[in-house]
Amino acid sequence: MGLFKPAWMKEKGSYSRYKKACKEIRKISDPNMLKEIALTAPDSGVAKEACSKIKDRKVLGEIAIQSNNSFLSELAVSMINDDDIIKKIALEAGSNGGGSFATERITNYEDLKEIAIFANNRFSRMEALKSIRDSATLIQVATKDKESEVRKEAIKYIFDQDILESIARKDLDHYVRQHALDKISDKELCQEIINSWSDEQKANTERVRKWKENFKNRSNPPKGKPGCCPHCGVRLAMPPQGVPSDSALYCGYCKRRIN
């Protein structure tokens, strides 16, 4: 590269430096060189400029899989119109956002089931689950996926009471157990399941229940409660210091006057 670094290798700086880097990139036609710039340029704007010049779908797919920048990964995915490459990204991308963005583009049901089970990152698997109603796939994910967040997502779409009971009894994660328990309609069975838990499991799940209740109360406070909007019930922010007491104040949510 010579004695001096090219402009695209320098840290993000002035707008003139960015323009100089973009000017250098416009002279490059080699897709592999553009890929290197997209993946290694310290300035994300320069990286996007390099990515936008690439026409080779396979190279764009490699960027979507390898990049640590979610915006760059999504840009690469948006430039690809090959279903096989989109599926490859959904299966192989890390936690950079490219995998879930690619999964949104997939319409083949069998591909979505494969992604829900085998994708490398949980965001792709969770995105795929939103479109799946195949009970065998949902049960497999809800009982065997290594990530508790993914198991919880699968439980959203399971209504078989026997399966939910099994998960509520056996899952090692207290959030997942509580999630399954909340979907069981037989309250006597729910109490029996709770009684079957160890003391540690009961304590952990009770903490989850209280957290959910507190969060619900914070998100939806009753109307008329002090500190809440009298119209919609949303908790109000304190007015800035120095605001005269007779000034009109409005709820930031429903926009109605509160004084």
DSSP string, 168-227: HHH-S-HHHHHHHHHT---HHHHHHHHHHS-HHHHHHHHHHHHHHHHHHHHHSPPTT-TT
Is residue 143 classed exposed, middle or buried when 0-12, 13-18 and 19+ CB atoms within 10 A define those classes?
middle
Mean pLDDT for 129-141 is 96
Q: What is the pLDDT of residue 240?
A: 43
Is residue 75 classed exposed, middle or buried when 0-12, 13-18 and 19+ CB atoms within 10 A define those classes?
buried
Distance CA 27, CA 203 (A): 63
Distance CA 259, CA 251 (A): 10
Distance CA 45, CA 11 (A): 11
Q: What is the pLDDT of residue 137?
A: 97
What are the domain boundaries of the chain? 1-54, 57-132
233: left (phi over 0), alpha (psi -120 to 50) or beta: left
| pLDDT tens per residue across span 75-103 | 999 999 999 999 999 999 987 778 999 99
Q: Higher model confidence: residue 160 or residue 15?
A: 160
pTM: 0.73
Q: Count CB neighbours of 48 within 10 A.
A: 18
Q: Of 23-27, 60-64, 121-125, 141-145, which range is least confident?
A: 23-27
Does 9 have pLDDT greater than 80? no
Distance CA 58, CA 251 (A): 51
Q: Is the dihedral of CA 129, 130, 132, 138 positive or negative?
A: positive
Query: Please, are residues 211 and 203 in contact by the beta-carbon 8 Å criterion?
Result: no
- Assign 250 to helix, strand or coil: strand
Q: How many secondary structure helices (H) and strands (E) does the chain include? A: 15, 0
| pLDDT tens per residue across span 209-252 | 776 676 565 555 455 555 677 666 666 655 544 444 444 566 66
Mean pLDDT for 181-196 is 93
Q: Residue 95's closest CA among 150, 154, 134, 52? A: 150
